[in-house]
């Protein structure tokens, strides 16, 4: 089959500048190609020349870069901002022959720009992309209608968790039969347990309990609650350290947001809090493997929690908020511990219980590693999507 996979409008693929969706598309394309499909990945040009194509991932994968700055001919409608890129995608697809399917990611509104007989929409989160929304009522009337019409136009919809399926069916009245749940994948060969002592020496990190957070330093990730918990933890375990890895704000920006600036200020006042900034290369896998446990204290619902999956694959026990899709990924007391969101006291207690019990920590980490190998290999995810592709075509 010939499949056009459409990346979102902000970041290029491969993920030179990060982005969970960009990483997802880049990871699944090789196993989809290995199943006999021709994959054409479209994304904004980023640092590359607009319109340039590259073939660096095998004969069955082609990258096409488009102008993400193309203006939509209704500048007075703020809901249309960002759709110029999808207009460029539509023009490009019109000139292609024998395309069996267009696979769009996380942008229901973008489907309104595309005229093709087979459209697959994959939702990665509870928001349209231009603004985060814990509940759809935060979208204005026009945005909500565009979202709804895009969902209706899709020939099939996939989501990464039962939580996200329930969110879409309940808020947008999409029949459950139209939505398939296919979890995200992880490269278990890249994200694997390594020699912790050697990795720490390479990175200049001291020996002692090391707590890790990976993700954007934004309010909905709950970093402030983790720092508050860490200050409590230090009273019981003076050798503990906290490592924070991630961009200091929203996508594609290099200037810290006011929230991130406050987190940096708090970190600078504590010698044992280390803020490393974003890591977009395979070096991130080494960062996971140097830690003792991973914490994702989300304040708003995570549809899935890719970083939690990467941590589990790396053999780390995960402490996460009992919120959104995280309870589907993290088995409480088996692969990690779940705590109520915004509850610093229980977050502290969960982390301390793992720091103080190495055998317990190792048991949960090993169980998480086994779970990722059994259920979350990219090859398994690609086979599930290949079945959707065949059914649609």
How does pLDDT run across 259-288, given as a tens digit for each residue? 889 999 988 888 899 998 888 888 999 999
| pLDDT band at residue 16 using 50, 70 and 90 as cut-offs | confident
State residue 277's pLDDT score.
84
Q: For the domain bounded by 196-375, which CATH number is listed?
A: 3.40.50.2000
Q: What percent of the chain is predicted at pLDDT more than 90?
A: 66
Most confident region among 95-99, 113-117, 155-159, 389-393 by mean pLDDT: 155-159
Q: How far is CA 323 from CA 127, 134, 222, 254, 330, in A?
A: 16, 12, 12, 29, 11
User: Does residue 351 carry a pLDDT above 60?
Assistant: yes
Strand 53-54 to 61-66 pairing: antiparallel
Chain CA centroid to CA 135, Å: 19
Domains 2-185+377-392 and 196-375 share a fold: yes
User: Does residue 356 carry a pLDDT above 90?
Assistant: yes
Most confident region among 84-88, 251-255, 304-308 by mean pLDDT: 304-308
Q: Which two tokens stand for residue 102?
A: 């267009």
Higher-scoring residue by pLDDT: 25, 95: 25
Q: Reduced to 3 DSSP states, what percent helix, strand and coil does the chain have, rounded to the nearest 5?
A: 45, 15, 40
Higher-scoring residue by pLDDT: 249, 333: 333
Helical spans, DSSP H, in 237-318: 258-268, 283-290, 306-313
Instruction: Identify the weakest region by mean pLDDT among 48-52, 96-100, 234-238.
Output: 48-52
User: Does residue 337 carry a pLDDT above 90?
Assistant: yes
| pLDDT band at residue 62 using 50, 70 and 90 as cut-offs | very high
Could you give the 3-state DSSP secondary structure of residue 308? helix
State residue 116's pLDDT score.
79
Distance in angstroms (rounded) separating the CA atoms of residues 369 and 10: 32
User: Does residue 331 carry a pLDDT above 60?
Assistant: yes
State residue 141's pLDDT score.
77
Helix axes 344-356, 223-236, angle to 10 degrees: 50
Distance in angstroms (rounded) separating the CA atoms of residues 39 and 231: 48
State residue 363's pLDDT score.
98
Provide mean pLDDT across the span 211-229: 94
User: Does residue 213 carry a pLDDT above 70?
Assistant: yes
State residue 76's pLDDT score.
45
Q: Which two tokens stand for residue 57?
A: 């991932």
User: Does residue 379 carry a pLDDT above 50?
Assistant: yes
User: Does residue 146 carry a pLDDT above 90?
Assistant: no
Burial of 162 (0-12, 13-18, 19+ CB in 10 A): middle
Q: Which two tokens stand for residue 205?
A: 């990190």
Higher-scoring residue by pLDDT: 159, 47: 159
Which one is the CATH code of 2-185+377-392: 3.40.50.150, 3.40.50.1820, 3.55.50.30, 3.40.50.2000?
3.40.50.2000
State residue 254's pLDDT score.
64
User: Does residue 128 carry a pLDDT above 70?
Assistant: no
State residue 131's pLDDT score.
44
Chain CA centroid to CA 42, Å: 18
Strand ranges (DSSP E) for the chain?
2-6, 38-44, 53-54, 61-66, 101-105, 119-123, 156-159, 179-181, 210-214, 241-245, 273-275, 293-296, 318-321, 336-339
Residue-wise pLDDT tens digits, 292-318:
999 999 998 899 999 999 999 999 999
Distance between start and end Cα atoms, the chain? 8
List the one residue out of 126, 177, 138 whose CA is nearest residue 303: 126
Higher-scoring residue by pLDDT: 317, 148: 317
Residue-wise pLDDT tens digits, 152-203:
999 999 999 999 999 999 888 899 999 999 999 999 999 999 999 999 999 9
State residue 77's pLDDT score.
46
Q: Where are the domains of the chain?
A: 2-185+377-392, 196-375
Average pLDDT taken over every residue of the chain: 89
User: Does residue 18 carry a pLDDT above 90?
Assistant: no
């Amino acid at each position: 089959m010939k499949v056009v996979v459409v990346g979102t409008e902000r970041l290029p693929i491969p993920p030179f500048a990060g982005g969970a969706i960009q990483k997802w598309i880049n990871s699944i394309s090789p196993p989809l190609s290995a199943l006999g499909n021709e994959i054409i990945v479209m994304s904004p040009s980023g640092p590359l020349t607009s319109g340039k194509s590259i073939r660096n991932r095998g004969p069955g994968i082609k990258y096409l870069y488009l102008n993400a700055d193309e203006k939509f001919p209704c500048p007075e409608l703020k809901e249309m901002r960002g759709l110029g890129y999808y207009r460029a995608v539509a023009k490009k697809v019109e000139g292609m022959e024998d395309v069996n399917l267009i696979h769009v990611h996380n942008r229901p509104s973008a489907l309104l720009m595309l005229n093709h007989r087979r459209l697959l929409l994959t939702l990665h989160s509870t928001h349209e992309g231009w603004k985060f929304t814990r509940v759809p009522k935060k979208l204005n009337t026009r945005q909500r209608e565009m979202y709804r019409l895009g969902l209706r136009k899709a020939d099939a919809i996939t989501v990464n968790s039962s939580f996200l399926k329930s969110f879409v069916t309940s808020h947008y009245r999409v029949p459950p039969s139209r939505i398939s749940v296919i979890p995200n994948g992880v490269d278990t060969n890249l994200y694997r347990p390594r020699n912790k002592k050697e990795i720490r020496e390479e990175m200049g990190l001291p020996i002692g309990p090391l707590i890790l957070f990976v993700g954007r330093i934004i309010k909905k990730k709950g970093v402030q609650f983790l720092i508050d918990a860490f200050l409590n933890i230090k009273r019981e375990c003076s050798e503990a350290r906290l490592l924070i890895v991630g961009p200091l704000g929203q996508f594609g920006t290099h200037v810290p947001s006011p929230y991130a600036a406050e987190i940096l200020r708090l970190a600078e006042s504590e010698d044992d809090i280390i803020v490393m900034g974003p890591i977009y290369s395979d070096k991130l896998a080494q960062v996971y493997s140097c830690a003792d446990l991973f914490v994702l204290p989300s304040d708003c619902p995570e549809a899935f929690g890719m970083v939690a999956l990467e941590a589990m694959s790396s053999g780390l026990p995960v402490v996460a908020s009992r919120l959104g899709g995280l309870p589907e990924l993290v088995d409480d007391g088996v692969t990690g511990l779940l705590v109520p969101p915004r509850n610093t006291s229980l977050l502290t207690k969960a982390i301390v219980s793992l720091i103080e019990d190495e055998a317990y920590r190792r048991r949960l980490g090993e169980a998480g590693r086994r779970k990722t190998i059994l259920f979350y290999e990219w090859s398994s995810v690609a086979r599930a999507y290949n079945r959707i592709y065949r059914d649609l075509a």
